[in-house]
Each structure stands twice: as structure tokens, then as C-alpha cells.
């Protein structure tokens, strides 16, 4: 039986949708719908109400998507049932007190190497229910930002040399000053998402907008508002907008390194959109160009340093540090001393032992893979300075680190 005319359920009339349930459903059904109301329900004792809302959201999709999915009434009923079950299972509930999270036994050693927050100065953020950014200096939180009224997750951020912070938060890109004033903001159209953004000088921003039927890499002048460069990026699942892209970085050669999460590929593009280098991977999340010309790629399996000839000259996988259990790999950073920091993202939307809060948020390993620092700051005891929450992005501020990340060019844009 055919679906009813979906014009009756236009985007303008579509109700808020369930993020928690769809974080699992979208992988199977290639769906994408998000919003605060159903997320709240899925995280509360009223989770059984999130299923019907997910079902309504199904009918809120465009007619083109419904046809592409080829799901009639029978499929819709099945989706309704699954939505209810998944909502119940997806209660990634934050603790009653956001400042107290117990360490998870067996996820990391009781005594961690290094000096905790005093090991490095850094900027920190993570994909979580809360949109928070921290600057840590001298072992203490020197600055923090919180956006309790917003929605989405902070997937990428960078601090410029003037102290401004540019961050992508799924449903937009924002640049704020040290006193937290917004100097630029972009909100993508409904059904699109932005998870990565990088500055080019003080007047340009490059970001990738996930979307259907294709994603777009765009460079805008944040002073004039003009789009100065734009080209499409291939995606594997147009309907599955959320997992398409998470990370892009500009190289010293004026190209951009892009991790195609849903294509299992890292591609380097010139300013005209031509692929000049590629390397396969397993759902690559990030690809950081290194000073030696190599690329540090983090994917589902681990971290590897790859030459432009495709040779792996260094790699790490979770089995190399078995005393630390990793829930999710997203990014890795090469420090000036040659060590590598690897994040451990805890998924607050998936409640299981692997994603239990209180795990180590990051580890630093030497070239021979010895762990010399582990970060576990969940506000658990007197030794914890604060609850930093899940880890996605770091920017290290130690001597020798890059101090002006905006000092790059993309083609002729500086």
C-alpha cells in the first residue's frame, strides 16, 4: 500500500524528532531526524512516548526520501515498533549531578600516568548532550563556554591566535570571542548538518555541510557573507546525512584533507575540488596533516601515520594498550615531542558498558606505544578538577604547538 501524500506533513509542520532513537535507527534505515523534545523523552522515564514521535517524524520526511526508502504501511508499522524499543534502549541519561561521574572499573588503571590536567595546556570539547568548551592552563580550567539553550553536539573546534573560538555544532557553525560574544554564525537548512569547520585567516571559514543529495565544501567570507568557493563532495548514503563527514583540515600546500566517514576513504582535494591523494580506511573520522608531510588518520580500527606513497610508518590500535578500554575513536594529535594523543569518545546516547562515563578520555603514547599520560576528568573526587565530559577535540597549547591555526591558505584564499 502506498504512503499517504507527505505534503500533509511539510517540514514546517514537522514536530521535533527523536535524536536518541534515530542515532541507532539511521544506521539501519538511513534515516535522519533530530530535535530536543523527543531526545528529552528518550532520556527520561517517559521514553515510551519517544517511539510514537519517531514514527510521526518518519512521515515528516520528504516525499522523495519516502519513495527512495520504498517502505509502505507494513514497513512503517515495523519502524514504529523498532522506534519504541530503540528509544527505551537509547536512554543515554546524564547523571543526576553533572559534576559527579563515578570512574568505571576495568576501563582504565586506578592510578593513571602523568600529571592529569597539569600535563598539558589545551582547548577541549566533545560530542555530548551539553555543548561545552574548556581551556585548560596550568592544570586548571582557565575559561569555559556553555550553550544550554542550544541543540546539537560540538564535533569540531579551533581557537584562533586572537583568542576567538570557531566551532561546528551539528546544526550550525559559530565563532565567539573570549568574552563569548558571537562574531559570526551560520545555520544550515533543515535536514543538513555541519560537523567540521576551519579558519582561513581572520575573514574566511571553510566548512563541510552534510546533506542530501550531496554534501558541499564551502568557503565563506564571514565579513561580507559571500561564498567564495564551493564544490560538492561524494557521499555513500545521501539520506544518512549525520555520518557523512566529521573532520577536514587544510594542509601546508593549500589543499584540504577530508575524512569521508561514510565512504571509508580519506581524500585530499585541491581548491578546485579535484582529488589529488586518497587512502582507504574503516569509517575514518579524522585526518590531520603532519609537519613532515604525512597524514595522521583515525578510523574505526585505530590510528596510523601514512605517507603520501601510501606507506604506514606508525600505527596504534586498542590492543596495543589493553589496560585502557576504548569506546569510540575519533581523533589523534601529534605533539611537538613526537608523542601521540588519542581520544576515547564516550557515547552518551548509547547506554552500555563500553560507553559508561568515567573511562579515560584520552591517552598519550610514545612512538613505542608506551602510555605516559591518561586524562580522566569526570569530577569524581578531589583529584578531579572538573567534569570535562566526553572527549572529541583537543587543541594543544604547549610550547612548540601551532599558535595560529588560521595562518593557512586554500588555493588563492588566504
Cα(121)–Cα(188) distance, integer angstroms? 33
By C-alpha distance, which of 95, 103, 94, 98 is closest to 380? Answer: 103
- Per-residue pLDDT band for 79 (boundaries 50, 70, 90) equals low
Contacts of residue 67, Cβ cutoff 8 Å, sequence gap at least 6: none
Domain layout of the chain by residue ranges: 6-89, 116-396
At 169 the three-state DSSP class reads coil
Is residue 309 scored above 90 in pLDDT? Answer: yes
Rounded to 5°, the CA angle 156-128-298 comes to: 50
Q: Using one digit for the tens of pLDDT, what is the confidence trace for 178-189?
A: 999 999 999 999
Grid cell in block for residue 407: 595562518
Domain covering 116-396 assigned CATH 3.30.465.10 in the classification = no
For residue range 353-372, list pLDDT tens digits in order.
888 777 999 999 999 999 99
- Give every CB contact of residue 229 below 8 A, 6+ residues apart in sequence: 217, 218, 219, 271, 410, 411, 413
Q: Over pLDDT 90: what percentage of the chain?
A: 68
Q: What are phi and psi of 136, to 5 degrees?
A: -110, 125
Sign of CA dihedral 386, 391, 396, 398: positive
Cα distances (Å, whole numbers) of residue 342 to 199, 309, 317: 23, 24, 10
Q: What is the DSSP string of 134-166?
A: EEEETTEEEEEEE-TT--S---EEEE-TTS-EE
Q: Which of 121, 117, 114, 208 is nearest to 156 (CA)?
A: 208
Q: Which residue has the higher pLDDT, 12 or 105?
A: 105
Whether the per-residue pLDDT at 217 is higher than 90: the answer is: yes
Predicted pLDDT of residue 85: 52
Can you give the pTM of this predicted structure?
Answer: 0.78
- Which tens digit of pLDDT belongs to each residue from 235-287? 999 999 999 999 999 999 999 999 999 999 999 999 999 999 999 999 999 99
Give 59's pLDDT tier (boundaries 50, 70, 90). Answer: very low
Do residues 161 and 174 touch, judged by C-beta distance below 8 A?
no
Q: What b/e string do you get for 138-157 counting C-beta neighbours within 10 Å, with b at 16 or more?
A: eeeeebebebeebbbbbbbb
DSSP 8-state secondary structure symbol assigned to residue 336: T
* Cβ atoms of 367 and 111 closer than 8 Å: no
pLDDT at res. 358: 75
In angstroms, the Cα distances linking 339 to 3, 258, 350, 368, 404 are 56, 23, 31, 9, 21
| Nearest residue to 153 (alpha-carbon basis) of 296, 328, 14 | 328
Determine the Cα–Cα distance for residues 284 and 262; give it in Å rounded to an integer.
8
CA angle, residues 2, 6, 8, in degrees to nearest 5: 130
State CA 117 to chain mean position distance. Answer: 22
pLDDT value at 77 more than 70 = no
| Cell 602510555 found at | 371
N- to C-terminal Cα separation, the chain: 56
Provide the angle, in degrees to the nearest 10, between the axes of the packed helices 73-89 and 50-59. Answer: 140
When pLDDT is cut at 50, 70 and 90, the band that residue 215 belongs to is very high
- Beta sheet of 295-298, edge-to-edge order: 286-289, 295-298, 303-306, 312-316
DSSP calls for 356-396: -TTS-SEEEE-TT--EEEEE--BS-STT---B--S--EEEE
With vertex at residue 288, the alpha carbon angle to CA 283 and CA 291, rounded to the nearest 5 degrees, is 150
Q: Scanning the structure block, which residue is given the C-alpha cell 608506551?
A: 370
Q: Is the pLDDT of residue 218 over 60?
A: yes
pLDDT at 356: 76
With 60 as the cut, is the pLDDT of residue 171 above it?
Answer: yes
Q: pLDDT confidence of 99, banded at 50, 70, 90?
A: very low
**Stretch 186-202: mean pLDDT, rounded?**
97
- Cβ neighbours of 118 (radius 10 Å): 13
Query: What's the pLDDT tens digit per position in 222-240?
Result: 999 999 999 999 999 999 9
Instruction: Please state the length of the chain.
Output: 414
pLDDT value at residue 72: 57
Q: What is the DSSP letter of 195?
A: E
DSSP annotation of 250 reads: E
Amino acid at each position: 500500500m502506498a504512503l499517504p501524500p507527505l505534503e500533509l506533513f511539510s517540514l514546517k509542520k514537522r514536530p521535533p524528532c527523536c535524536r536518541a532513537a534515530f542515532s541507532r535507527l539511521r544506521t539501519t534505515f538511513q534515516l535522519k531526524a533530530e530535535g530536543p523534545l523527543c531526545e528529552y523523552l528518550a532520556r527520561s522515564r517517559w521514553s515510551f512516548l519517544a517511539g510514537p514521535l519517531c514514527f510521526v517524524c518518519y512521515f515528516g520526511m520528504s516525499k522523495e526520501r519516502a519513495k527512495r526508502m520504498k517502505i509502505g504501511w507494513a514497513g512503517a508499522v515495523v519502524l514504529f515498533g523498532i522506534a519504541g524499543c530503540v528509544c527505551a534502549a537509547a536512554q543515554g541519561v546524564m547523571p543526576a549531578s553533572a559534576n559527579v561521574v563515578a570512574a568505571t572499573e576495568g576501563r582504565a588503571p586506578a592510578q593513571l600516568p602523568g600529571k592529569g590536567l597539569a600535563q598539558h595546556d589545551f582547548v577541549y570539547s566533545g560530542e555530548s548532550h551539553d555543548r561545552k568548551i574548556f581551556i585548560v592552563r596550568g592544570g586548571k580550567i582557565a575559561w569555559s563556554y556553555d550553550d544550554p539553550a542550544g541543540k546539537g553536539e560540538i564535533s569540531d573546534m579551533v581557537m584562533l591566535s586572537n583568542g576567538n573560538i570557531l566551532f561546528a555544532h551539528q546544526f550550525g557553525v559559530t565563532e565567539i570571542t573570549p568574552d563569548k560574544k558571537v562574531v559570526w554564525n551560520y545555520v544550515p537548512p533543515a535536514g543538513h548538518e555541519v560537523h567540521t569547520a576551519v579558519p582561513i585567516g581572520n575573514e574566511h571559514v571553510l566548512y563541510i555541510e552534510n546533506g542530501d543529495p550531496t554534501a558541499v565544501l564551502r568557503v565563506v567570507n564571514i565579513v561580507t557573507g559571500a561564498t567564495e568557493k564551493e564544490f560538492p563532495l561524494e557521499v555513500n548514503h545521501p539520506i544518512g546525512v549525520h555520518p557523512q563527514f566529521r573532520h577536514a583540515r587544510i594542509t601546508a600546500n593549500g589543499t584540504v584533507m577530508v575524512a569521508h566517514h561514510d565512504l571509508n576513504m580519506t581524500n585530499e582535494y585541491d581548491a578546485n575540488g579535484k582529488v589529488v591523494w586518497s587512502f582507504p580506511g574503516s569509517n575514518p573520522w579524522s585526518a590531520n596533516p603532519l609537519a613532515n608531510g604525512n597524514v595522521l588518520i583515525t578510523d574505526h580500527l585505530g590510528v596510523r601515520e601514512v605517507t603520501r606513497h601510501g606507506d604506514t610508518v606508525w600505527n596504534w590500535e586498542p590492543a596495543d594498550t589493553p589496560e585502557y578500554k576504548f569506546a569510540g575513536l575519533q581523533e589523534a594529535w601529534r605533539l611537538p615531542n613526537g608523542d601521540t594523543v588519542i581520544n576515547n569518545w564516550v557515547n552518551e546516547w548509547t547506554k552500555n558498558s563500553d560507553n559508561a562515563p568515567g573511562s579515560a578520555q584520552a591517552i598519550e603514547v610514545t612512538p613505542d606505544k608506551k602510555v605516559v599520560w591518561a586524562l580522566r576528568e569526570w569530577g569524581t573526587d578531589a583529584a578531579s578538577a572538573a567534569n570535562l565530559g566526553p572527549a572529541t577535540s583537543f587543541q594543544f597549547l604547549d610550547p612548540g604547538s601551532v599558535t595560529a591555526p588560521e595562518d593557512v591558505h586554500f588555493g588563492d584564499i588566504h
